[in-house]
Structure 1
Amino acid sequence: MSRNKPTTPALHYRVEPLNHRAHLFAVTLDITRPARSQKLTLPVWIPGSYLVREFSQHLQHLSATQGGEALAVKQLDKHRWQVDNDGQRTLSLRWEVYAFDASVRTAFLDATRGFFNATSLCLMVAGREDEPHAIEIQPGDAPAGWQVATGLSPVKANEQGFGTYLAQNYDELADCPVEMGTFWSGEFSACGVPHRFVVSGAGGWFDGQRLLDDTRRICEAQIRFWHGDGQPPYERYVFMLHASGEGYGGLEHRNSTALIAQRTDLPKISAKDAKPAALKATDGYTTLLGLISHEYFHTWNVKRLRPAEFKRYDYTRENHTELLWFFEGFTSYYDDLFLRRAGLIDDATYLQLVTKTINQVQQSPGQRVQSVAQASFDAWTRYYRVGENTPNATISYYTKGALVAMCLDLTLRAEGRGSLDEVMRALWHRTQGGPMRESDLSTVLRQLGKRSFAAELAQWVHGTADLPVLDLLAAAGAKVHRDKAPLAQSLGLRVAADSSGLTVKNVLRGGAGEAAGLAAGDEWLGVEFAPARRGLPAEAWRVRKLDEVAALRGTRSALTALVSRDGRLLRCSLTWPADDTAVRLTVEDAARLGDWLTRCSTG
């Protein structure tokens, strides 16, 4: 794409904090050569997060002027407006946006930081979406010392980053979030490409150099995976991480990513000359590195190699595809795998991470209800609208999609037909790093695997049968153990316990809890047992933890759960189930595992 920079783009935004105490951004937009009946639209969703979020709910005080004269602004529906004008002079609009959502998807502003995606702040100019867009970012009433970080190309910006930036079209503007504040900032080069990492909310104990070093190893491994000694499809890259008291998530962009992690997950400065402890699967920092790896892999797999349905985003409505199992699931397969390939974790730790994914899928009744292709299509109404019945009604295209990728990879390797690495690169070259369909994957699998994979795709992607992942893992050098499952899983429940008591969050389909009549939202107060002998009173005990229920049960096969539901006290007869099992993976044959985990081919 040409990067020629017009000196005066016909579309010019100005964004600045208006009142950080009230969490308000001010936005102005100047439109040269407007349409006589100029329509403007605010997106209802942001690519990468498949839910209609109605960003217009936070827009207020929209006004328009032309030549200093006020014009009427007519609202057409929930997110569209129209301004009639003379069609010749510059049309100027101004509005405010309330920004107090600390997620990666929208906008946030307070005394500590500012952040925004253009989809939350910047109205689209109908008919002009493909023109260059200039955006001027100014400090407004921001506290002293604030800086700016973004993947946008600067036209004229000061040392703090405030100034004017250019996007070639609205898609690029929407795909480059902006971080503002007194953040920590560091830089590194990966395969000759400059990368910047900014972190807001970190304390003085944070080991920024370790984060840079570990992230660089991930980036270099992924660049070489896709391009060998070639160059990635961007000139620079920006990581924007907000460290918070709680929260987790990320959103991918073409040359940047926005991340949220718990502050305690950041690496901590060690004593002088002390060697950092080996990472464990349960470490928060391991989880953070997996998130970094995931969003960085999206730079290729979904931002460029993308569903054909996303060739052009429609920001006004849902954009459906059946391929999220590929774009999110395959990315979820590679995220932790690249931690292993970058040497950040060992084989045993990697297998522990895989164990977690397998158990998540196997313990979700929804895998019998929906295929991952269906789950992908229904993301807008199911995956992002979590309720008490979600585990029974759908399956995560992240977790099961990752296992589909693993099954394809291990099958190709077992048959001596290459690997999924080669499939991904062949898809990149086949589509020229652009939109793809499932038929493209089928074609590449046939070419590299020397046979059709139609049956596997039908069963694993479009069906609900069990995946052969455990057999394939055993053949690849892992040892499969069957351990006693957690008590909640055996009972078919998901619960929350705190100082106030025990609450049922989910009742899993076909489990003992469902058979007993327990329901989501029940407060489990106690248990009651029939008399041990005739003439003795029944036993009744208060419980606050699920383990207490098991301890009080002893060897008895039945009990009555005493629950509070909607202000009523109920008795639910529970027949104690047989113990369920959970999977655990360990290293059995390190040499065979090495053939898969570390001896990857590069682009």
Structure 2
Amino acid sequence: MLTAAVGYSVRVQDLHAHLFQVTLTIAQPAPLQRVSLPAWIPGSYLVREFSKSLQRLQAHQGATSVALTQLDKCSWQVECAANQPLVLSYEIYAFDNSVRTAWLDAARGFFNGTSLFLQVAGQENLPHALELPANKALPNWQVATGLTPKKTNKSGFGRYLAANYDELVDCPVEMGEFWSGSFVACGIPHRFVVTGAPPSFDGDRLLADTQQICEAEIRFWHGPKAGSRASNQPPQQSYLFMLNAVDDGYGGLEHRNSTALICTRKDLPRLSNPALLPHTTQPPTTQPKPSEGYTTLLGLISHEYFHTWNVKRLRPAEFTRYDYAQENYTQLLWFFEGFTSYYDDLLLRRAGLIDDTTYLKLLTKTVNQVLQTPGREVQSVAQASFDAWVKYYRQDENTPNATVSYYTKGALVALCLDLTLRHEKKTTLDAVMRALWLRCKGGPMRESDLSSVLEALSGRSFAKEIAHWVHGTADLPLQTLLEGQGIAVLEEPAQIAQRLGLRVAESNGIVIKTVLRGGAAESAGFAAGDEWLGLEVGTAKSATHWRLSKLDDLLLYAGTATQVIALVARDKRLLKLSLTLPKAVTTWRLAARDGQRVGQWLNAA
């Protein structure tokens, strides 16, 4: 085993049974050595009980079996001699194709350390080592991880080191036959690996666009000379992007020097097929405008990379040291996720990857998401942060009525602060973020640190704004601040679902997913799970009946009627619900009115 206080070996045991074999060696165990598997993974605030996938746990010292006692859902105690190494072996079932846990099949292996590595009580701060033995049955497989290599072969199999347990589990591992590319951003080497890409995948474009994102964000935090000897150095010495392209999926999880991403294959950048293009003798001179799906993927890349600073280093004081066995509460996710969500698309604009119109379209979507969430009047964004463990990650049909997203409203709090600071012409939120980084030395912070920096740079207290915008439930002064920055706030008719106060699924008929508080559908008596079958229009003697296949059919068949009968199925019963069609409901659309003022904001360095 490896020359470290705590060492792990992970082998591919059975591809078709989706099993990893893990061996843990503790060089100097305690007489009653306790070990435990994390119950959650930092960055995803839900207790996921990873121990449910652990099986066949055994302990040995030399050739002697050692007694194991399970203490709780994720902890065990080993009675052993303290003068010789203790070896534990176990299997991990890996069949969750997300960024949070572990996966293994004939095409790919992936794992986060929180899903595989038992934590050794009392030795968390000692050096940890990982061995990934090559498998002769998988000659074309490679390894990608942010861990420091000690002795590896050209495919990446071999030995890796970590300074402690936290670092070990904060570096996920990708294994398989994947596409790989690299670039340098501000002097820092970056690698991008993609699994599951189709033949049309344009890797060169993904690398070039990601490089622009990374350079924009490094310079955002460390200035135009980032990477030079005289600059404020970035915290990462290298960085790894791991992207899993699937038929349908989206998400990401940040780590200290890497990120795990998942996207839909059709959203990847594509090579042009000359056989399918119009005939021309002139080669294209510019890259085509990114598709909406690819723009979303670039926003995800920007978001997770920004977390390299904002949550992985600059982080809530409550996260100074993680307790992997239970919830770790903080009221600051509105800052760490929300402010990151504000800057992810904004930095795409500053990197030149989207234009003003596209950025304002993305911002419009965020604004409307919040304004169409009744829960914003029930829960503050600080409460939403604290309740992430029981509400945000456990969404149901009532979630929009009872909660607000700390991602979207947090982003709008950042927008309001930024535009307020710019209007007062003393400083910007960009400067505040950099000053926070220096004040907290890229480490734990509290809300009071943000308040202090805001006051120091602006010359006044922002206590009132923080109290109302973060700890209150009143609407944000978005229209006033946007118009003051040269943005026109236009109103447009809402979609029929928004007018009715519904969220529906229409893949096979109309199924009600959510009934929004205070809407026409709630007044009529609709409930989540109802199947909306048809419509009765007119008086009892002259009523006509229509079958609905999609929600837009309502306007087709209702005509000028202001009240109709909705025919719904609930628990195999057919019901008639009297529905009053609401007057016009509008949504926002943002457009640039004063190009100079908009440019001062969107083009800021």
**TM bin (shorter chain):** over 0.9
Query: How do residues 72-111 of structure 1 correspond to structure 2 at under 5 angstroms?
Result: 72-111=67-106
Displacement of 1:470 after TM fit? 2.0
Aligned to 1:232: 234
**2-side partners of 1:224 and 1:271: how far apart?**
36
**2-side partners of 1:527 and 1:138: how far apart?**
64
In the alignment, is residue 374 of structure 1 matched against residue 379 of structure 2? no
Displacement of 1:203 after TM fit? 1.5
In the alignment, is residue 128 of structure 1 matched against residue 128 of structure 2? no
Long gaps (5+) in structure 1: 1-5
Displacement of 1:539 after TM fit? 2.0
Aligned to 1:177: 172
Aligned to 2:30: 35
In the alignment, is residue 418 of structure 1 matched against residue 423 of structure 2? no
Query: How do residues 328-343 of structure 1 correspond to structure 2 at under 5 angstroms?
Result: 328-343=337-352
| SS state at 2:25 partner | strand
Displacement of 1:529 after TM fit? 2.5
Aligned to 2:362: 353
Displacement of 1:538 after TM fit? 2.7
Deviations 1:277-333 (A, max 9, x none): 5536x6100000000000000000000000000000000000000000000000000
Aligned to 2:539: 531
In the alignment, is residue 305 of structure 1 matched against residue 314 of structure 2? yes
Aligned to 1:447: 456
**1-side partners of 2:388 and 2:543: how far apart?**
49
Instruction: Give the letter aligned to residue 17 of structure 1.
Output: V
Aligned to 1:559: 564
Aligned to 2:215: 220
| SS state at 1:22 partner | coil
Q: Return closer, same or farther for 1:142/1:236 CA change in 2, 3 Å cut-off.
A: farther
Aligned to 2:414: 405
Displacement of 1:71 after TM fit? 1.5
Deviations 1:80-123 (A, max 9, x none): 01110111111101000000101100000001110000000000
Instruction: Give the letter aligned to residue 575 of structure 2.
Output: L
Displacement of 1:77 after TM fit? 0.8
Aligned to 2:15: 20
Deviations 1:380-413 (A, max 9, x none): 0000001000000100000000000011001001
**1-side partners of 2:515 and 2:294: how far apart?**
32
Aligned to 1:144: 139
Displacement of 1:493 after TM fit? 0.3
**2-side partners of 1:589 and 1:278: how far apart?**
27
In the alignment, is residue 252 of structure 1 matched against residue 254 of structure 2? yes
Check the 8 A contact 1:44/1:54 in 2, yes or no. yes
**1-side partners of 2:203 and 2:39: how far apart?**
36
| SS state at 1:505 partner | strand
| SS state at 2:539 partner | coil
| SS state at 2:376 partner | helix
**1-side partners of 2:107 and 2:145: how far apart?**
18
Check the 8 A contact 1:17/1:139 in 2, yes or no. no
**1-side partners of 2:545 and 2:357: how far apart?**
45
Displacement of 1:426 after TM fit? 0.5
Aligned to 2:530: 522
Check the 8 A contact 1:17/1:142 in 2, yes or no. no
Aligned to 1:274: 284
| SS state at 1:546 partner | coil
Aligned to 1:3: none
Check the 8 A contact 1:244/1:263 in 2, yes or no. yes
Aligned to 1:45: 40
Q: Return closer, same or farther for 1:271/1:588 CA change in 2, 3 Å cut-off.
A: farther
In the alignment, is residue 436 of structure 1 matched against residue 438 of structure 2? no
Aligned to 1:568: 573
| SS state at 1:186 partner | strand
| SS state at 1:165 partner | strand
Aligned to 1:591: 596
**1-side partners of 2:322 and 2:247: how far apart?**
34
Long gaps (5+) in structure 2: 226-230, 275-282
**1-side partners of 2:387 and 2:135: how far apart?**
41
Instruction: Give the letter aligned to residue 222 of structure 1.
Output: E
**2-side partners of 1:559 and 1:52: how far apart?**
45
| SS state at 1:171 partner | helix
Deviations 1:249-274 (A, max 9, x none): 00000000000000011000135743
Check the 8 A contact 1:279/1:286 in 2, yes or no. no
Instruction: Give the letter aligned to residue 218 of structure 1.
Output: I
Between stretches 176-185 and 71-80, larger displacement belongs to: 71-80
**1-side partners of 2:285 and 2:354: how far apart?**
15
Instruction: Give the letter aligned to residue 370 of structure 1.
Output: Q
| SS state at 2:552 partner | helix
* Structure-2-length-normalised TM-score: 0.96
Aligned to 2:151: 156
Residue 399 of structure 2, aligned match among 390, 396, 407:
390
Deviations 1:419-439 (A, max 9, x none): 000000110010000000000
Deviations 1:230-249 (A, max 9, x none): 33111100000000001100
**1-side partners of 2:497 and 2:596: how far apart?**
37
Between stretches 482-491 and 262-271, larger displacement belongs to: 262-271
**2-side partners of 1:192 and 1:420: how far apart?**
26
Deviations 1:443-474 (A, max 9, x none): 00001111010110011000111111222111
| SS state at 1:583 partner | strand
**2-side partners of 1:594 and 1:537: how far apart?**
59
Aligned to 2:280: none
* Structure-1-length-normalised TM-score: 0.96
Aligned to 1:543: 548
In the alignment, is residue 324 of structure 1 matched against residue 333 of structure 2? yes
Check the 8 A contact 1:130/1:170 in 2, yes or no. yes
Query: How do residues 204-215 of structure 1 correspond to structure 2 at under 5 angstroms?
Result: 204-215=199-210
Displacement of 1:417 after TM fit? 1.1
Check the 8 A contact 1:111/1:142 in 2, yes or no. no
| SS state at 2:210 partner | helix
Q: Return closer, same or farther for 1:276/1:552 CA change in 2, 3 Å cut-off.
A: farther
Instruction: Give the letter aligned to residue 41 of structure 1.
Output: S
How many equivalent pairs are there? 590
Residue 187 of structure 1, aligned match among 175, 179, 182:
182
Check the 8 A contact 2:134/2:158 in 1, yes or no. no
In the alignment, is residue 286 of structure 1 matched against residue 295 of structure 2? yes
Check the 8 A contact 1:17/1:141 in 2, yes or no. no
Q: Return closer, same or farther for 1:539/1:597 CA change in 2, 3 Å cut-off.
A: same
Displacement of 1:566 after TM fit? 1.1
Displacement of 1:276 after TM fit? 5.3
Identical pairs, percent = 64
Check the 8 A contact 2:2/2:130 in 1, yes or no. no
**2-side partners of 1:332 and 1:47: how far apart?**
18
Aligned to 2:479: 470
**2-side partners of 1:169 and 1:86: how far apart?**
24
| SS state at 2:590 partner | strand
**1-side partners of 2:565 and 2:139: how far apart?**
62
